[in-house]
Homo-oligomer: A and B are copies of this chain.
Amino acid sequence: MDNLALCEANNVPLTPITFLKRASECYPDRTSIIYGQTRYTWPQTYDRCCRLATSLISLNITKNDVVSILAPNVPAMYEMHFSVPMTGAVLNPINTRLDAKTIAVILGHAQPKIVFVDHEFAPLIQEALHLLPFDDSKRHPLIIFINEIDSTTKPSSKELDYEGLIRRGDTTLSSAASLFRVRNEHDPISLNYTSGTTADPKGVVVSHRGAYLSTLSAIIGWEMGIFPVYLWTLSMFHANGWAHTWSMAARGATNVCIRYINAREVYMNIDLHGVTHMACVPTVLKILLEGRRTNLTHRSAPVRVLTGGSSPPATLFEKVERLGFQVMHAYGLTESSGAALYCEWQDEWNRLPKQQQMQLKARQGVRNIIIDEVDVKNTKTLESVPRDGKTMGEIVIKGNSLMKGYLKNPKATSEAFKHGWFNTGDLGVIYPDGHVEIKDRSKDIIISGGENISSIEVEKVLYMHQKVIEAAVVAMPHPLWGETPCAFVVLKKGEDELVTREGDLIKYCRDNMPHFMCPRKVVFFNELPKNSNGKILKSKLRDVAKTLVVDEDDAGSKKVYRHGVEHVSSRL
Q: Determine whether the beta carbon of B90 is less than 8 Å from that of A9.
A: no
Residue total for A at the interface (Cβ-Cβ under 8 A): 66
B369→A205 contact, CB < 8 A? no
Q: Is the C-beta of A397 less than 8 angstroms from some C-beta in chain B? A: yes
Known: A10-B402, A27-B434, A397-B9. A2 touches B64 (CB 8 A): yes
A433 at the interface (CB under 8 A from B): yes
Chain B residues, Cβ within 8 Å of A22: 367, 369
Q: Which residues of B contact A398 (CB under 8 A)?
A: 8-10, 12
Q: Contact check: which of B7, B25, B27, B367 meets A26 at CB < 8 Å?
A: B367
Within 8 A of B (CB), among A56-86: 64-66
In this complex, what residue of B is CB-closest to A42?
B434
List residues of chain B with CB within 8 A of the CB of A428.
none
0/1 string, A1-45, CB within 8 A of B gives 1: 110111111111010001100100111110000000000000000
Asked if A259 lies at the interface with its beta carbon under 8 angstroms from chain B, I say no
Which residues on B sit within 8 Å (CB–CB) of A417?
Answer: 7, 9-10
Could you say which residues of chain B place their CB within 8 Å of the CB of A27? 366, 434
Contact B10 A90 (CB under 8 A): no
Residues of B within 8 A of A205 (CB): 1-2, 4
Contact A26 B366 (CB under 8 A): yes
Give chain A interface residues in 184-226, CB to chain B under 8 Å: 186-188, 191, 205, 210, 216, 219-220, 223, 225-226
Residue of B nearest to A25 (CB): B434
Q: How far is the CB of A190 from chain B (nearest CB, A)?
A: 11
Interface residues as binary, A337-380 with B (CB distance below 8 Å gives 1, 0 otherwise): 00000001111000000000000000000110110100000000
* A400 interface contact, C-beta 8 A: yes
CB distance from A511 to the nearest CB of B (A): 34
Q: Which of B18, B226, B369 contacts A19 (CB 8 A)?
A: B369
Which B residues are in CB contact (< 8 Å) with A346? 227
- Flag whether A101 is at the interface (Cβ < 8 A): no
Q: Which B residues are in CB contact (< 8 Å) with A111? A: 1
A162 at the interface (CB under 8 A from B): no
From B29, B90, B227, B404, A347 is in contact (CB under 8 Å) with B227
A10 touches B403 (CB 8 A): yes
| Contact in complex: A4, B413 (CB < 8 Å) | yes
- The distance in angstroms between the C-alpha atoms of A399 and B29, with both chains bound, is 24
A450 within 8 A of B: no
- Which residue on B lies nearest to A24, using beta carbons? B434
Question: What CA separation (Å) do A90 and B225 show in the bound complex?
Answer: 34
Q: A56 CB to closest chain B CB, in angstroms? A: 16
In the complex the two chains form, is B399's CB within 8 Å of A12's CB? Answer: yes
B400 touches A12 (CB 8 A): yes
Q: A9-B417, A223-B223 are in contact. List 9 more A-B contacts (CB 8 A).
A: A1-B191, A4-B404, A10-B398, A12-B400, A27-B434, A216-B220, A216-B369, A219-B369, A250-B369
Interface residues in chain A, defined as those with a beta carbon under 8 Å from any beta carbon in chain B: 1-2, 4-12, 14, 18-19, 22, 25-29, 64-66, 90, 111, 186-188, 191, 205, 210, 216, 219-220, 223, 225-227, 250, 252, 344-347, 366-367, 369-370, 372, 397-400, 402-405, 407, 413, 417, 420-422, 432-434
Q: Which 5 A-B residue pairings sit nearest by Cβ, starting from the closest? A: A26-B366, A4-B405, A10-B402, A4-B404, A12-B372
